[in-house]
A and B are shown apart, each in its own frame.
Chain A
Amino acid sequence: MISGRRTDLALLLTALLLLSAAGADTPDATPEQAAAIVGSIVDRIETPRDTPIPFVEQRTSRLLTEPLTLDGEIWFAADGTLSKRIGAPFDEQVTISARRVEMRRNGKVRRLSIERRPDIKAFYAGMQALLAGDVMALYSAFDVAAATDADDWRLELTPKDGQLNRFVARLVISGTGSRVRIVRTEQPGGDWQEMSFAPAAD
Chain B
Amino acid sequence: MAASHSRSRRAITIGAWLFLAAACGLTIAARLSITVDLAYFLPPAATEQERVLIDRLGQGPGSQLIFATVTGRDRADVMARSARLAAALTGSPLFTQVLSGQEELTRESIPDVVWAHRYLLADIDADAAGLRRALQDRLADLAVFSGDEFADVLAADPMLAAMTVMERLAWSTESTLPDWTGADGRSAFLITQVAAPAFDIGAQAEAMAAIHAAAAAVDAAPATLNGVGVYGVELQHTIRSEAQFRSLLASLAIIIVLLVAYRRWRITVLAVVPLALGALAGIACIALIFGQVHGITLAFGFTLFGVAVDYPLHVFSHARGRHPQEAIRAVWPTLRLGAASTIIAYLSVSLAGSRGLAQLGILSSVGLLVAVLATRSLLPLLMTPATAGAPRETGRSSTALRPALRHGVWIIVCLIGGAVIAAQGSIWSNDLSTMTPIAPEKLRRDTQLRMALGAPDIRHLIALRAPTEQAALEATETLAAELDAARNDGLIDGYRVVTDLLPSHRTQLRRRAAVRAIDAPADIVRLAVDGTPFRADGFAPFTAALASTAEQEPLNAIDFQSSALAGYVDAHLAFDGERWTSFATLFGLTDPEALATLLRERYPDATLVDLKLASQALVLRYRQRIQVVLLASLALIIVFLIVRVGWSARLGWIVGSLTASMLGTIALNATLAAPLTIFNLIALVLVAGLGLDYGLFMSRTEDDAEQAAQTRHAVLVCVGSTLLAFLILAFSSVPILASLGTTVTIGVALNYAVATLGARRRGQTGTRR
Judge whether B140 and A117 touch: CB under 8 Å.
Answer: no
Given the known inter-chain contacts A63-B538, A90-B139, please indicate yes or no for A111 contacting B177, CB distance below 8 A: yes
Q: Does A14 contact B (CB under 8 A)?
A: no
Given the known inter-chain contacts A117-B105, A118-B104, A140-B76, please indicate yes or no for A94 contacting B174, CB distance below 8 A: no
B145 — which chain A residues lie within 8 A by C-beta? 117, 119-120
Q: Report the separation of the CA atoms of residues A103 and B103 in the bound assembly, to the nearest whole angstrom.
A: 19
Q: Does B684 contact A (CB under 8 A)?
A: no
Q: 0/1 per residue, A64-77, Cβ < 8 Å to B?
A: 11101010000000
Q: 0/1 per residue, A110-126, Cβ < 8 Å to B?
A: 11110111111000010
Q: 0/1 per residue, B512-551, Cβ < 8 Å to A?
A: 0000000000000000000001110011000000000000
Given the known inter-chain contacts A63-B151, A191-B148, please indicate yes or no for A113 contacting B102, CB distance below 8 A: yes
Scoring A64, A98, A141 by chain B CB atoms within 10 A of each residue's CB, the highest score goes to A64
Q: Does B558 contact A (CB under 8 A)?
A: no
B137 — which chain A residues lie within 8 A by C-beta? 105
Q: Report the separation of the CA atoms of residues A61 and B147 in the bound assembly, to the nearest whole angstrom.
A: 7
Judge whether A64 and B535 touch: CB under 8 Å.
Answer: yes
> Among B178, B533, B539, which residue has its beta carbon within 8 angstroms of that of A68?
B533
User: In the complex, what's the smallest C-beta–C-beta distance from B282 to chain A, in angstroms?
Assistant: 56
Judge whether A94 and B144 touch: CB under 8 Å.
Answer: yes
Scoring B100, B139, B181, B539 by chain A CB atoms within 10 A of each residue's CB, the highest score goes to B139
Judge whether A101 and B144 touch: CB under 8 Å.
Answer: yes
Judge whether A189 and B534 touch: CB under 8 Å.
Answer: no
Judge whether B142 and A117 touch: CB under 8 Å.
Answer: no
Q: Report the separation of the CA atoms of residues A68 and B181 in the bound assembly, to the nearest whole angstrom.
A: 35
Judge whether A185 and B146 touch: CB under 8 Å.
Answer: yes
Judge whether A119 and B76 touch: CB under 8 Å.
Answer: no
Q: Report the separation of the CA atoms of residues A191 and B150 in the bound assembly, to the nearest whole angstrom.
A: 11
Judge whether A163 and B142 touch: CB under 8 Å.
Answer: no
Judge whether A115 and B154 touch: CB under 8 Å.
Answer: no
Q: Report the separation of the CA atoms of residues A12 and B80 in the bound assembly, to the nearest whole angstrom.
A: 30
Q: Does A143 contact B (CB under 8 A)?
A: no
Q: Does B155 contact A (CB under 8 A)?
A: yes
> Among B79, B174, B533, which residue has its beta carbon within 8 angstroms of that of A115?
B79
Chain A, 20-79, CB within 8 A of any chain B CB: 57, 59, 61-66, 68, 70
Judge whether A64 and B142 touch: CB under 8 Å.
Answer: yes
Q: Does A1 contact B (CB under 8 A)?
A: no
Given the known inter-chain contacts A94-B144, A191-B147, please indicate yes or no for A66 contacting B105, CB distance below 8 A: no
Q: Report the separation of the CA atoms of residues A70 and B136 in the bound assembly, to the nearest whole angstrom.
A: 14
Q: Report the separation of the CA atoms of residues A74 and B7 in the bound assembly, to the nearest whole angstrom.
A: 105
Judge whether A63 and B534 touch: CB under 8 Å.
Answer: yes
Judge whether A63 and B104 touch: CB under 8 Å.
Answer: no
B180 — which chain A residues lie within 8 A by C-beta? 113, 115
Q: Does A178 contact B (CB under 8 A)?
A: no
Q: 0/1 per residue, A84-97, Cβ < 8 Å to B?
A: 00100110101000
Judge whether B104 and A64 touch: CB under 8 Å.
Answer: no
**Closest residue of B by beta carbon distance from A185:** B146
Judge whether B142 and A119 touch: CB under 8 Å.
Answer: no
Q: Report the separation of the CA atoms of residues A65 and B537 in the bound assembly, to the nearest whole angstrom.
A: 10
Given the known inter-chain contacts A59-B142, A100-B177, A141-B76, please indicate yes or no for A64 contacting B102, CB distance below 8 A: no
Q: Does A149 contact B (CB under 8 A)?
A: no
Scoring B102, B178, B539 by chain A CB atoms within 10 A of each residue's CB, the highest score goes to B102
For the residues of A in contact with B, the DSSP-based class is mixed
Judge whether A68 and B147 touch: CB under 8 Å.
Answer: no
Chain B, 449-481, CB within 8 A of any chain A CB: none
User: In the complex, what's the smallest C-beta–C-beta distance from A98 to chain B, in angstroms?
Assistant: 7
Q: Does A81 contact B (CB under 8 A)?
A: no
A176 — which chain B residues lie within 8 A by C-beta? none
Q: Report the separation of the CA atoms of residues A150 and B533 in the bound assembly, to the nearest whole angstrom.
A: 40
> Among A59, A103, A116, A140, which residue has its beta carbon within 8 angstroms of that of B101?
A116
| Total A-B pairs, Cβ < 8 A | 110
Given the known inter-chain contacts A63-B154, A63-B155, A140-B76, please indicate yes or no for A119 contacting B105, CB distance below 8 A: no
User: In the complex, what's the smallest C-beta–C-beta distance from B529 to chain A, in angstroms?
Assistant: 9
> Among B76, B143, B155, which residue has its beta carbon within 8 angstroms of that of A59?
B143
Q: Does B125 contact A (CB under 8 A)?
A: no
User: In the complex, what's the smallest C-beta–C-beta distance from B758 to chain A, in angstroms?
Assistant: 72
Judge whether A61 and B151 touch: CB under 8 Å.
Answer: yes
Q: Does B179 contact A (CB under 8 A)?
A: yes
B174 — which chain A residues lie within 8 A by C-beta? 109-111
User: In the complex, what's the smallest C-beta–C-beta distance from B367 to chain A, in angstroms?
Assistant: 58
User: In the complex, what's the smallest C-beta–C-beta distance from A128 to chain B, in angstroms?
Assistant: 11
User: In the complex, what's the smallest C-beta–C-beta distance from A59 to chain B, in angstroms?
Assistant: 6
Judge whether A68 and B148 touch: CB under 8 Å.
Answer: no
- Count of B interface residues, CB-CB < 8 Å: 38
User: In the complex, what's the smallest C-beta–C-beta distance from B105 to chain A, in angstroms?
Assistant: 6
A61 — which chain B residues lie within 8 A by C-beta? 142, 146, 151, 154
User: In the complex, what's the smallest C-beta–C-beta distance from B226 to chain A, in angstroms?
Assistant: 21
Q: 0/1 per residue, B696-714, Cβ < 8 Å to A?
A: 0000000000000000000
Q: Does B553 contact A (CB under 8 A)?
A: no
Q: Does B83 contact A (CB under 8 A)?
A: yes
Q: Does B234 contact A (CB under 8 A)?
A: no
Q: Does B323 contact A (CB under 8 A)?
A: no
User: In the complex, what's the smallest C-beta–C-beta distance from B665 to chain A, in angstroms?
Assistant: 56
Judge whether B79 and A187 touch: CB under 8 Å.
Answer: no
Judge whether B102 and A116 touch: CB under 8 Å.
Answer: yes
Q: Report the separation of the CA atoms of residues A113 and B178 in the bound assembly, to the nearest whole angstrom.
A: 8
A57 — which chain B residues lie within 8 A by C-beta? 143
Q: 0/1 per residue, A173-188, Cβ < 8 Å to B?
A: 0000000000001011
**Closest residue of B by beta carbon distance from A69:** B533
Given the known inter-chain contacts A109-B174, A116-B101, A117-B105, please indicate yes or no for A99 contacting B535, CB distance below 8 A: no
Q: 0/1 per residue, B78-122, Cβ < 8 Å to A?
A: 011001000000000000000011111100000000000000000
A92 — which chain B residues lie within 8 A by C-beta? 140, 143-144
Judge whether A66 and B533 touch: CB under 8 Å.
Answer: yes
Given the known inter-chain contacts A65-B533, A115-B101, A116-B102, please indicate yes or no for A99 contacting B179, CB distance below 8 A: yes
> Among B80, B104, B178, B533, which residue has its beta carbon within 8 angstroms of that of A117?
B104
B402 — which chain A residues lie within 8 A by C-beta? none
Judge whether B104 and A167 touch: CB under 8 Å.
Answer: yes
Chain B, 176-217, CB within 8 A of any chain A CB: 177-181
User: In the complex, what's the smallest C-beta–C-beta distance from B582 to chain A, in angstroms?
Assistant: 29
Given the known inter-chain contacts A65-B534, A189-B148, please indicate yes or no for A116 contacting B105, CB distance below 8 A: yes
Q: Does A8 contact B (CB under 8 A)?
A: no
> Among A64, A103, A110, A118, which residue has its beta carbon within 8 angstroms of that of B534?
A64
Q: Report the separation of the CA atoms of residues A66 and B376 in the bound assembly, to the nearest whole angstrom.
A: 100
Q: Report the separation of the CA atoms of residues A45 and B18 in the bound assembly, to the nearest whole angstrom.
A: 93
A141 — which chain B residues lie within 8 A by C-beta? 76
Given the known inter-chain contacts A63-B154, A64-B534, A116-B102, please indicate yes or no for A90 contacting B179, CB distance below 8 A: no
Judge whether A187 and B147 touch: CB under 8 Å.
Answer: yes
Q: Report the separation of the CA atoms of residues A120 and B147 in the bound assembly, to the nearest whole angstrom.
A: 11
Given the known inter-chain contacts A99-B179, A100-B177, A116-B103, please indicate yes or no for A90 contacting B146, CB distance below 8 A: no
Q: Report the separation of the CA atoms of residues A113 and B188 in the bound assembly, to the nearest whole angstrom.
A: 14
A103 — which chain B residues lie within 8 A by C-beta? 140, 144
Q: Does B559 contact A (CB under 8 A)?
A: no
A98 — which chain B residues lie within 8 A by C-beta? 75
A101 — which chain B residues lie within 8 A by C-beta? 144
Given the known inter-chain contacts A113-B101, A113-B177, A191-B147, please indicate yes or no for A90 contacting B154, CB distance below 8 A: no
Q: Report the separation of the CA atoms of residues A17 and B538 in the bound assembly, to the nearest whole angstrom.
A: 53
B100 — which chain A residues lie within 8 A by C-beta? 115
Judge whether A191 and B538 touch: CB under 8 Å.
Answer: no
Q: Does B149 contact A (CB under 8 A)?
A: yes
Q: 0/1 per residue, B118-131, Cβ < 8 Å to A?
A: 00000000000000
The 4 residue pairs across chains A and B that have the minimum distance between CB atoms: A189-B148, A115-B102, A63-B538, A64-B533
| Apart from A117-B104, A188-B148: 18 A-B pairs, beta carbons within 8 A | A57-B143, A59-B146, A61-B146, A62-B535, A62-B538, A63-B151, A66-B533, A70-B143, A94-B143, A94-B144, A105-B137, A112-B105, A112-B177, A113-B177, A115-B101, A117-B105, A119-B146, A189-B151
Q: Can you show 6 pairs from A to B with CB atoms below 8 A apart?
A: A63-B534, A70-B143, A89-B139, A99-B179, A161-B76, A187-B147
